[in-house]
């Protein structure tokens, strides 16, 4: 029997996980655990390109581990660990930095976007962010990296630097392939359906967070942007209604025709009530599990340590090989 392909995914412990993170990434990770050799990393080192409160960052890192397990990341099937616990990540990033051209870095759209959002904190780490992301992936000889459309450029850079290194210094890195996530899980902001739901958005009704109470969810859905039309149909030109329908489609697992029939001749009020109810039902077991886990910090620490112990030899082996090939003692 062939060994399973290795999949790597990372998520930052900044902000709070929202419905878009869950449907666009975490739910996919949970659903594909039986198919792959999974490595899930809480990329807290990436978080410090923006100034963080140190105590809050530590707490958010552990809270994120708790939430991921509550969502269904199974330590018997997947390795979950904290990025900063393995120093080979920044060490390999430096080697990659020395093999990535400035022109390639300056073309990275996320650097431009984040620089515009934080013009007073355009630091070197923010510029070099893609090298650390490439190191995260290449350390573990990864076959596949689940990505959305906004991360494809990072995977291309990772592939390019790996191929360049292998050509210039000798075979070292496996060339990862993007694993394009299934369509229909791109969740937009409730207050502005033209922008992707974001952890960093400041609008009170922008996102539904996984730990939101039922009354908060109901309130946010009721205030979600729609339009002046009355028919409830999947029409991409009607961004607000389309976004809400797509969320309902993913959570209900119904097809679009049956959803349109379900809400034919019914107003937005009826549809929004149904949507809020299915979101609450989806998040309830996650919230219950989170509260249980949050009271057992030792168990969370054990899972993180086991994940670390499992992946560390892979990282060490890859780094030492790269280090030797490039001529470092």
| Active site residues per annotation | 114, 196, 199
User: How far apart are the C-alpha atoms of 161 and 123, rounded to whole Å?
Assistant: 22
Which residues make beta-bridge pairs with 81? 41
Containing 179, the helix (H) or strand (E) segment is: strand 177-180
Contacts of 10 (CB under 8 A, 6+ apart): 40, 41, 42, 43, 46, 83, 133, 136
Bin 231: left if φ > 0, else alpha if -120 < ψ < 50, else beta: beta
Other Cβ atoms within 10 Å of 132 Cβ, number: 22
User: How far apart are the C-alpha atoms of 128 and 108, rounded to whole Å?
Assistant: 10
| Token pair belonging to 224 | 């979600």
Terminal-to-terminal C-alpha distance of the chain? 39
Which residues make beta-bridge pairs with 37? 6
Burial of 215 (0-12, 13-18, 19+ CB in 10 A): exposed
Phi/psi for 8 (5° steps) reads -120, 135
Find out whether 217 and 276 touch, Cβ atoms under 8 Å.
yes
Phi/psi for 257 (5° steps) reads -65, -45
Phi/psi for 146 (5° steps) reads -65, 125
Helices and strands: H and E segment counts in the chain: 14, 5
CA-to-CA separations, 313 to 136, 290, 308, 309, in angstroms, rounded: 14, 30, 9, 8
For 272-296, the DSSP string reads HHHHHHHHHHHHHHHHHHHHHHHT-
């Amino acid at each position: 029997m062939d060994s399973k392909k290795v999949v790597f995914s990372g998520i930052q412990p900044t902000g709070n996980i929202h419905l878009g993170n869950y449907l666009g990434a975490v739910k996919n990770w949970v659903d594909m655990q039986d198919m792959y050799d999974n490595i899930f990393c809480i990329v807290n080192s990436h978080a410090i390109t923006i100034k963080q409160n140190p105590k809050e960052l530590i707490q958010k890192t552990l809270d994120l581990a708790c939430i991921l397990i509550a969502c269904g990341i199974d330590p018997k099937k997947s390795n979950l660990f904290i990025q900063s616990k393995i120093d080979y990540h920044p060490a390999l990033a430096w080697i990659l930095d020395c093999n990535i051209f400035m022109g390639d870095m300056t073309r990275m759209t996320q650097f431009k976007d984040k620089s515009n959002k934080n013009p007073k904190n355009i630091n070197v780490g923010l510029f070099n962010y893609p090298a650390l992301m490439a190191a995260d992936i290449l350390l573990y000889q990864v076959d596949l990296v689940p990505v959305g459309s906004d991360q494809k450029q990072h995977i291309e850079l990772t592939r390019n630097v790996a191929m360049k290194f292998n050509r210039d210094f000798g075979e070292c890195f496996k060339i990862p392939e993007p694993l394009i996530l299934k369509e229909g899980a791109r969740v937009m902001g409730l207050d502005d359906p033209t922008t992707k739901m974001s952890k960093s958005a400041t609008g009170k009704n922008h996102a539904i967070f996984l730990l939101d109470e039922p009354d908060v969810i109901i309130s946010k859905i009721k205030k979600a942007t729609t339009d002046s039309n009355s028919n409830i149909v999947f029409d991409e030109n009607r961004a607000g209604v389309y976004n809400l329908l797509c969320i309902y489609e993913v959570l209900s697992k119904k097809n679009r025709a049956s959803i349109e029939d379900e809400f034919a001749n019914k107003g937005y009020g009826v549809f929004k009530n149904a949507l809020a109810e299915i979101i609450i039902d989806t998040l309830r077991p996650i919230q219950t599990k989170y509260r249980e886990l949050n009271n057992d910090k030792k168990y969370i620490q054990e899972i993180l340590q086991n994940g670390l112990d499992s992946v560390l030899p892979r990282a060490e082996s890859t780094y030492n090989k790269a280090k030797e090939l490039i001529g470092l003692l």
